[in-house]
A and B are shown apart, each in its own frame.
Chain A
């Protein structure tokens, strides 16, 4: 098998006495859509923060495409092709949707911080930005300030921003949270269409989405992995039913 897109080795993080990440081992193959599920407070978002670099783990290692990135700052991880979306949508509200996406294109351009040339009319940035907007179905909203987009549109915008980072792995932190049914269906179709191009780690509460999309599923409870494998096997796992799925009825 090729080098995994992401490998976590014994990752641990505590907030005071609380072990939010408790020796997590996890491997994601290139192109795999890996779902991470677990009850509220299981430490899913904290784990995503550690992978993207906005939180530092206490111990353990994070390997990205075989390279140890445990000590790398978040901006360097992003430049290496590790993109993410946020549980609470995170866009630049006053910039247009197109500019938000162009910001990602720019980060991977030859001169990301050129000082004098006009950026808004720069085709070298806008052409890939338009493509990413088209991929997520936001073409018509391109010039609207990101802050004025609907919740589902913001979710799609975040995915478009991730697409421009030449990602090898995208971390999706509850992309369906707070999204209406119709927009949710559209986002699931979108994620499905992106499957295979890069690896994805999907944190999600919506079980129908998880079982429709995921190649493999990992269940996190109290910061530790209690099961990991094919969706059907995980669904059948008695410990999982007990700890998690059972609660849903």
Chain B
């Protein structure tokens, strides 16, 4: 484009890009991988179940961070995708189809279609209107599940079997389930990280900051956002699949608006837009909830203010603290 300057001389003057090292995610995944060891050494088994559940929600929180933190779209209906994943699993199991090689494609497809339709409509709005319309779609999914009387309706659906892989039981063992959840979470994190640093991700990030600039550079911003919304919805569906298998139960409550709110909490708690922050947020949220609720019945009275204080005083959530401790400014 410049064409005038000699190439070798120009290249010599080009400064090197600063290297970015991300230690935090490695540490998180290493610690998570070692937890069953602690469990073998005497940590109550209850913890393994709790952290498995937290990792399942971490997948959903991570997927939400992809559109909320990276894309700048505050979706208040994200629990709908957990619900679709869970109900998809539950209904197929009830109908005798336990094979996950059947369930997963079905769930991912339904999530993608639901995301495409609701996203297409929602993305015509911005800001508060976007929050409200995603909330409305989430509630639609909630009421739809309540009305599914063939599959438990309001009472929910109890599952008497778990999903199988090539006909084999893989979710029966608690430690096994733990590693399946961890593996899925690690895969989703890797995938999200790849997407964020791809060309697509660069446009998505840029559009969050300056949509007009991105538009006059030649991109259809809504097209890119819809793509991210669909990917995010499918990822959250995966979390619903695991949740149904862990709890052996599916209920409309999985997609209530308060569940969507909790997912936003997890992302904000962990640190918006860092991806691994969403994982930390989910872990912190569910573990704190569990510890507090074992102490007192009125745990929510403590939990609420705790979250408010935390968000107020730690700019950038848990990931923000990690960055400050390392003395690094976020680029």
Interface of A with B (CB < 8 Å)?
Answer: 52-54, 73-79, 83-84, 86, 90-96, 98-99, 102-104, 106-109, 111-120, 122, 125, 128, 130-132, 134-135, 139-140, 142-143, 145, 161, 163-165
From A114, A132, A165, give the contact of B217 (CB < 8 A).
A165
Question: Cβ of A120: which chain B residues have Cβ within 8 Å of it?
Answer: 17, 197, 202
Q: Report how far A98 CA is from B200 CA in the complex, Å.
A: 17
Bound form: Cα–Cα A109–B54 in Å:
41
Asked if residues A115 and B215 are in contact (CB atoms below 8 Å), the reply is no
Are A90 and B14 in contact, CB atoms less than 8 angstroms apart? no
Q: Is B253 an interface residue when CB atoms closer than 8 A count as contact?
A: no
Assess whether B8 is interfacial by the CB under 8 Å rule: no
Q: 6 closest pairs, A vs B, by CB?
A: A78-B218, A107-B218, A135-B2, A131-B2, A131-B1, A79-B218
Are A113 and B227 CB-contacts (below 8 A) given A130-B10, A131-B1? Answer: yes
Residues of B within 8 A of A142 (CB): 14-15
Interface window among B55-63, B129-137, B203-211, B313-321: B203-211
> Is the C-beta of B300 less than 8 angstroms from some C-beta in chain A?
no
- CB-CB under 8 A from B10, the residues of chain A are 130-131, 134, 139
B219 nearest CB across to chain A (Å)? 6
Query: Is B216 a contact of A119 with CB atoms below 8 Å?
Result: no
From DSSP, what is the main secondary structure of chain B's interface residues?
A: helix
Segment 289-331 of B: residues with Cβ below 8 Å from A: 331
Tell me which of B199, B200, B209, B331 has the highest count of chain A C-beta atoms within 10 A of its own C-beta.
Answer: B199
Q: Is A117 within 8 A of B212, CB to CB?
A: no
Q: Which residue of A lies closest to B213 (CB)?
A: A90
| Cβ contact within 8 Å between B220 and A75 | yes
B209 touches A93 (CB 8 A): yes
B residues neighboring A (CB under 8 Å): 1-5, 10-11, 13-18, 194-195, 197-203, 205-206, 209-210, 212-221, 224, 227, 331
Cβ contact within 8 Å between B198 and A119? yes
Chain A residues with CB under 8 Å of B199's CB are 106, 109, 111-115, 117, 119, 122, 125
CB-CB under 8 A from B14, the residues of chain A are 130, 139, 142
B1 touches A164 (CB 8 A): yes
Known contacts A54-B212, A78-B216, A164-B1: does B200 contact A103 (CB below 8 Å)? no
Partner of A116, one of B4, B198, B215, B220: B198
Return chain B residues, CB-CB under 8 Å to A113: 199-200, 203, 219, 224, 227
Q: Which of B203, B205, B220, B331 contacts A106 (CB 8 A)?
A: B203
Residues of B within 8 A of A52 (CB): 216
Shortest Cβ distance from residue B275 to the other chain A in the assembled complex, whole angstroms: 15
A52 to B15, CA, bound (A): 34
Shortest CB–CB separation between residue A105 and chain B, in angstroms?
9
Q: Contact check: which of B3, B200, B215, B227 meets A74 at CB < 8 Å?
A: B215
Q: How distant is the Cα of A119 from the Cα of B199 in the complex, in angstroms? A: 5
CA distance A140 to B13 in the complex (A): 8
User: What is the CA–CA distance of A91 and B216 in the complex, to the nearest angstrom?
Assistant: 11
Expressed in whole angstroms, the minimum distance between the Cβ of A118 and any Cβ of chain B is: 5
- The residue on B at minimum CB distance from A145 is B331
A52-B216, A134-B10 as given contacts; A118 in contact with B198, CB under 8 Å = yes
Can you list 9 residue pairs at the A/B interface with Cβ under 8 Å? A75-B215, A86-B213, A92-B205, A94-B209, A95-B206, A103-B203, A106-B199, A112-B203, A161-B217
Judging by beta carbons under 8 Å apart, are A103 and B331 in contact?
no
B195 nearest in chain A by CB position? A115
What's the least CB distance linking B255 to chain A, in Å? 27
Of B195, B205, B215, which is in contact with the most chain A CB atoms at under 10 Å from its CB?
A: B215
B313 shortest CB reach to chain A, Å: 24
By beta carbon, the residue of chain A nearest B1 is A131
> A92 touching B209 by the CB < 8 A rule?
yes
Pair A119/B331 contact, Cβ less than 8 Å: no
B216 engages A84 (CB within 8 Å): yes
